[in-house]
Structure 1
Amino acid sequence: MDIRVQGSPFDAGAELNAFTNKAQGAGAIVSFSGIVRDTAAGDLEKMVIEHYPGMTERAITTIAEEAQGRWNLADVLVIHRFGELSANDPIMMVATASRHRKAAFEAAEFLMDFLKSRAPFWKKEITGKDAVWVESKDHDEDALKRW
């Protein structure tokens, strides 16, 4: 299991290759990479992501351990960035490895839903007009109910 909360960019392709190479016994690998969306109609100057070091890693590790046990995963990777990011910058990545594809897909979705709604990150969108903290969305909260 590899959980990283980092300020620096990452190369999703290189991360996926490294993850795949060490996922012994897996028959399926699923990955998801999130990028910063410009929800301000082209006016996003940057997104600032804050977190509490230590607390954030513990929360993500706890949910990754739950996913690993629940779906009998061979391996899990979660990378989430913090700091100042621009539109189209990679913001996060989840990869899961299991013997079968259904488990890998479900576990990856579970982890992404958790990261979107429960991981202790705070996001602020800064545009040419203002700065707004990103509120949680009802559909993100609803996605957690299925788990």
Structure 2
Amino acid sequence: MTVRIQEEDFDLGTEIAALRKGDAQVGAVVSILGTVRDMNEGCQVKGMTLEHYPQMTEKSLENIAAQAKARWDIRQALIIHRVGPLLPEDQIVLVAVTSSHRGEAFAACEFIMDYLKTAAPFWKKEETPGGGRWVDARVTDDVAMARWVENKPKS
């Protein structure tokens, strides 16, 4: 399991290739790439700043990846989350999961992303024409995460 929090951008193809390299048991790679939108809740977004607490955030993301590994038969998981100032269309987050079969990879990837959106200690401030505003998790994100609490596969 690999977790990186960084200000620098990353190359999606390079990261995916490195994740699966040398593992002939990998039959599926599932990933999601999150990017900065130029609109949120009906308001223009000129940019955003993501803040975190170093070490605390890494431990939290490592725990999320470990939970995914405990729930599903996955080979590897990669979480890259950027912090600092970002502009519309910039890459924010990459979650990638490898497994022998696609079902495990899809479920684990979705689980990790749902937990990142609700439980990871990041603080997002958007810059709008009306000034800066802090962004909270959406109700839909909380609903998505709740299903994982109720459904605990693989015992």
TM-score range, shorter chain: over 0.9
How far off its partner does 1:110 sit? 0.1
CA separation in 2, counterparts of 1:96 and 1:66? 13
Superposition TM-score, scaled by structure 2 size: 0.90
Q: CA deviation at 1:44?
A: 2.1
Give CA deviations for 1:63-116 in whole Å, capped at 9, x if unaligned.
Answer: 101101211211110000000000000000001011111000000000000011
Query: Deviations along 1:40-68, whole A, 9 cap, x unmatched?
Result: 56832210000000000000001101101
Q: Which runs of 5+ in 1 are unaligned?
A: none
Q: Which position in structure 2 is the counterpart of 1:4?
A: 4
The letter of the residue matching 2:66 is E
What does the per-residue CA deviation read over 1:20-43, in whole Å, with 9 as the maximum and x for residues that have no partner? 224441111101100011125683
Look up the SS of the partner of 1:17 in the other structure.
helix
Native 8 Å contact 1:23 1:97 kept in 2: no
User: Structure 2 counterpart of 1:95, which letter?
Assistant: A
Could you state the TM-score of these two structures normalised by the residue count of structure 1?
0.94
For 1:98-117, what aligned pairs fall within 5 Å after superposition?
98-117=99-118
Paired residues of 1:24 and 1:74 also in contact (CA < 8 A)? no
Correspondences of 1:1-147 after superposition (within 5 Å): 1-40=1-40, 43-147=44-148
Residue 129 of structure 1: how far off its partner (Å)? 2.1
In the aligned structure 2, how far is the partner of 1:88 from the partner of 1:34?
Answer: 9
How many residue pairs are counted as aligned between the two chains? Answer: 147
The question of whether the paired residues in 2 share the 8 Å contact of 1:23 and 1:75 is answered with no
Q: Which runs of 5+ in 2 are unaligned?
A: 149-155
Matched residue, 2:152: none
Task: Report the residue type matching 2:11 in the other structure.
Answer: D
What is the RMSD of the two structures over their aligned residues, measured on CA atoms?
1.4
Moved over 4 A (4+): none
